[in-house]
Structures are given as structure tokens and as C-alpha cells.
Amino acid sequence: MDSSVIRSAPLKLAVATSNQGKLLEFQRLASGADLELYPIPQFGELPAFEENAPTFAENSAGKALYYSAYTVESVMADDSGLVVPALGGAPGVHSARYAGPNASSESRINKLLKEMRGLEAPKRTARFVCVLTLAHAGRAIAVFSASVEGAISDEPAGLKGFGYDPIFVPEGYSSTFAQMRGDEKDQLSHRARAFRKLIDFLANDEFRHPD
């Protein structure tokens, strides 16, 4: 069959996340890319994948492989988080659970700022990391990673974004991610950079949708 016929409709990817902020950001990034992203049906009712590996890559790959058993579509999963060298790399892979499994973003931010209290600018450096894995029917197709350097602000600022966005100031800027427009953040963020690698991969026909 002609590949142009196969790809005439948008490619569908199921996103393995319960984080609405992440899903909306990915859908915004996919706009105009001939790509349709949607959450795995009844995701919240499925047995949860335990993200207990020591690296973003292992958690991302494990999640994608695990949830690919629950849908006929290809699955995209990410593991991302904030790495602060002055805190020994914390919160790292525990970013979403830094203040407890059910803590709010505000609680996680407050804990981080408390632990960094008194640290001067040279020790407030940080980076956001994202690893995306594409999987289908229990097989990993590709893995993409990206990061963005920056610093932790003294206090939260901005109402946009989610997670640690109100305290992360990307390198070369004076505004936090939460103060930026969505399109401005999309030029810089770790998640956007990793996702653009995935889009390039799909556009170059390196990806073949399994039969």
C-alpha cells in the first residue's frame, strides 16, 4: 500500500499520563504536526505503573512498555523532573512525589524553597529533564531526551504552566516558566525539545506503525 495513503490521516498516539497539564502541553506542541494525541482510555482505572527506577529513562521506558498493553495504538510516555545540583540532584525522579504521593504542586514548591533557603545564586542552578519513550505492543520504538538549564527563584512567580514552573527561571531569562506565554515556553522547555525530536523522527519516516 502507498505510504502516503497510510499517513493521510493524523497519526494517533496514546499518552500515558494522568497529568492534565502535561497532556495539554503535548497537544499544543503537536498542533500542526499531523499528530493526534489523546489520553489512554480509562487511564485512572488501570493498575498503576510504579515509577521506582533510579533514572528518568528507565521510568519513561517502563511506563510506555507497561501501558502499551492496554491500547492498540502506539503509546508515548514521559518521565520528567527538576534536578538541583545543590540538593544532590533532588528532587529528580521523585519530582512529582517530593512532598509526598498526594501533595500539591504548592507543597512541593514550598518544600524545595525551604531546603534552598539561604543559598546564593551560584548554588541555585537547576535543570529540567524530560525523557520520552515511544512504544507499541510491548516493544520500545524510540527514546528521546532533552533538558533546559536555569535557576531556582527565591519565591514563586506566575500563574501559567504547572508543577515547578513558578520557581524555574530558564538560563538567559528573568521570568519563570509560569510567567511566560505558552508559545514562549515551548521554544525553551525540556518537554518541548524532547517532543520536537519525536516529531522529527516521525516526519523522517523512521517510525513504522506496526501491523
Active-site positions read 79
Whether the upstream peptide bond of residue 210 has omega within 30° of 0, thus cis, is: no
| Cβ-contact 100, 107 below 8 angstroms | yes
Strand partners, 140: 135
Q: What is the DSSP letter of 2?
A: -
Neighbours of 10 (CB within 10 A): 12
| Cβ-contact 134, 64 below 8 angstroms | yes
Please give the Cα distance from 95 to 99 (Å, whole number).
9
